[in-house]
Chains A and B, each alone.
Chain A
Amino acid sequence: MRTAAEPIRELRLEGITKRFPGILACNNISMQVSRGEVLALVGENGAGKSTLMNILAGLYQPDSGTITLNGREVRFHTPNDAYAHGIGMVHQNFMLVPNMTVTENVALGLKEHHRFMNLDLKSAKARIMEVSEHHQLPVNPDAHIWQLSVGEQQRVELIKTLCFGAQLLILDEPTSALTPQETDDLIDRLKRMTGELSIIFISHKLNEVKSLSDRVAILRHGAVVFNGQTADHTSADLAALMTGREIHLPRNEGLSLDGGVVLQARDLHVRGDRGHLALDGLDLELHAGEILGLAGVSGNGQRELAEALTGLRRVESGRVEFLDADMTNRSPASMIAAGLGYIPEDRHHEGIVPKFSVKENLVLKDFHTVKFSWWVVLKQSEIAHNAEALKASFDIRCSSTSAAGGSLSGGNIQKVILARELAREPKALVAVYPTRGVDMGAQEFIHSQLLARRRAGGGVLLISEELEEIMNLSDRIAVIYKGRILKVLNSLDATRERLGLLMAGVADE
């Protein structure tokens, strides 16, 4: 049995160094975790957190340095070696087979339940129930993965890892895909589990770090720059240590400039991918010179709204008006030409062409304009010049603008998209989850850019799940629930509690 591994009293990493071609991902890193302790590992995108954890989970080999477990040196050649020593990792992107049940997914990795030509699902299920009860992680073992919400899938991942006998859990950005409610729930459950487990978790969100961790280690450029007790430091201190400078998330403080309406939706009915009415009579007005925050739990029609406004999804009935012209069901190209910008939710496959170079991605919407082409011939030097300028002004970190867009980190991909969209000086910009999964430094930058667009007279529709972000930036806040706008508040009247209730569908007065 896997659980026979000796209990982890103390795990030590000493002098871990890992090089990739052209980059020193981990530079002589040392840290330790003891039983029952929660260590938060924070740092900007590309600071080396994931590499370090992949080394600990047996996915990578360090170039030098040692891992000691209870005082004995160990070497993990494969993830199975790490599991055999009680170390289990839950990856940021879940590793589950969607059309199998929870039990089947867990049993896949439990070798002792594999019989000749047959899988002992009964005992696997018993094991799941045992773990689920013991750690208070409720789950239906017979449910198919695709039927579960993201939060439930996360729980399945945790149970799977625990069933494999993990005593030290590594969680790579466990909350990045969760709604605020699911996040609070997960953090509560993790807190209860620390009685008998150690946890290392990677996060960008300092409030989670504050509420869950005992100690925090901060990585910058592959090296540990800080390692100390969480309770002794404020979030602001930690943010400053993380980026090497003070972080001030900018706030919307100016008076609303209230220009005319630039973008408006009237009685919009739109179907989602599964054929249901995702927007059911939605009305919304975006003014010039304002940021309109759209708050709501994801899956209430945000994606469909963004796509209907940008011409990417067919409108069944109702109208989309942009700059006083009826633009219902016009092509994406005509919306772009009219001056509508769009930062899509799926930045890796929709916001950029991953195989295209950074410079090509920066002209993805404008390559055919006179600025970047002469007749049908691309002006390569102009495209390169444009890329260099945007790279500098938006602080896009890439080895060269000829590097493939898909090779950049998430935060830098987002900067590429932002640079392209803002350089077009859009009259209205639809921004969907613009800072999801990006680090504090990039977040600050993106926020200040959105505010700058507002000052320049553009309207910004900010779709987000982060109440903090919406409340900081918006002039007005609309709450979406089941495909309709439940209420539009002036941001001065909005409180977390009030928005939270509205997001749950409870209309006030």
Chain B
Amino acid sequence: MSLRITFITAGRILRQLLNDHRTVGLILAVPALIIALISAIMDEAPQVFDKTGLILLAAFPFMLMFMITSITLLRERTGGTLERLMTTPTAKLDLVVGYALAFGTAAAAQTAVAATVAFAFLGLDTQGPTWAVFLICIVTSLLGMALGLFVSAFATTEFQAIQFMPVIVVPQLFLCGLIWPADQMAGWLQGVSDALPLTYAVKALTEVQLNPDVTADMWADLAVVFGAVVVATVLGAATLRRRTN
């Protein structure tokens, strides 16, 4: 692995993203607008919004990164650029970390806009510090990236890549505690919820919401999410083959 090539790769991926003005606009504006919508829906119950709005702050970059990573990597695979890169000094890890840096930056920008709107204008409130929310959102977005990287190996068209959303992303959103608290689900479903990494992102956010200081539990939950990022990234990198049939 070479840091120089990793940064060159990240720069190239960011430039590709920035050339697509419409996508940049959607990435920055949509989460803030949806969170504003949810806040208006929950107008009479601000304490419910505190919980849901906070989870959505992490859920959006998670979904975004899953989508853009699976599609851009699929384009690299089908457009021949991946094969070309494999004949250059680019190592697999340079490519994967380059993606993480580039899309992590996009996720950070998205989170910054959505969090500013939520905290400053929509009255979202947490006991704990904002930086912890930000950190959890970034790690969660990297989870989306790693999963997107992995599933891009199993799709041959962009149409198929999008179909993986309901398979990989939606169950995690339903079971993470966003629409219903995990401890009030059927017993077996709680087991499933416990096995899904996004659940731990929500647990970490709940810790920040309830405690003025950063807790050891939050770090433990975040470590689980980060562990899942590493595992999914390694699995995803293993699908980048230098030699193919």
Do A and B pair up? The answer is: no
Task: Mark A residues whose CB is within 8 Å of B.
Answer: none
Task: Mark B residues whose CB is within 8 Å of A.
Answer: none
